[in-house]
């Protein structure tokens, strides 16, 4: 039986999520803008399509990769205050 590790602080989780989201959104938006007329679609439709595409990429690929990469930092114990 493996010990249960404490969750990282919320601010570290937020940084990891932001990093994954930024990378997926940057590359995904760049690729979607190569679709002819995509920029002309109504905003709500563009956001709907992009979130339908980006959410599974975030959940199944980007966040697991980011959390694995940042695991030592995420789980590092805080330094004692002086």
CA distance 75 to 29: 31
Is residue 11 within 8 Å of residue 44, measured between CB atoms?
Answer: no
Domain residue extents for the chain: 13-72
Q: Would you state the pLDDT for residue 26?
A: 96
Supply the pTM of this predicted model.
Answer: 0.80
Q: Find out whether 53 and 28 touch, Cβ atoms under 8 Å.
A: yes
CB atoms within 10 A of CB 19: 16
* Residue 69, pLDDT score: 97
Per-residue pLDDT of the chain (82 residues; tens, 9 = 90+): 777 678 899 999 999 999 999 999 999 999 999 999 999 999 999 999 999 999 999 999 999 999 999 999 999 887 777 7
- pLDDT for the residue numbered 82: 76
């Amino acid at each position: 039986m493996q010990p249960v590790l404490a969750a990282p602080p919320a601010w570290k989780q937020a940084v990891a999520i932001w990093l994954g989201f930024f990378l997926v959104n940057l590359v995904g938006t760049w690729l979607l803008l190569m679709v002819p007329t995509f920029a002309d679609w109504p905003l709500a439709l563009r956001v709907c399509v992009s979130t339908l595409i980006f959410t599974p990429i975030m959940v199944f690929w980007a966040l697991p990769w980011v959390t694995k990469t940042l695991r030592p930092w995420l789980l590092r114990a805080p330094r004692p205050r002086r």
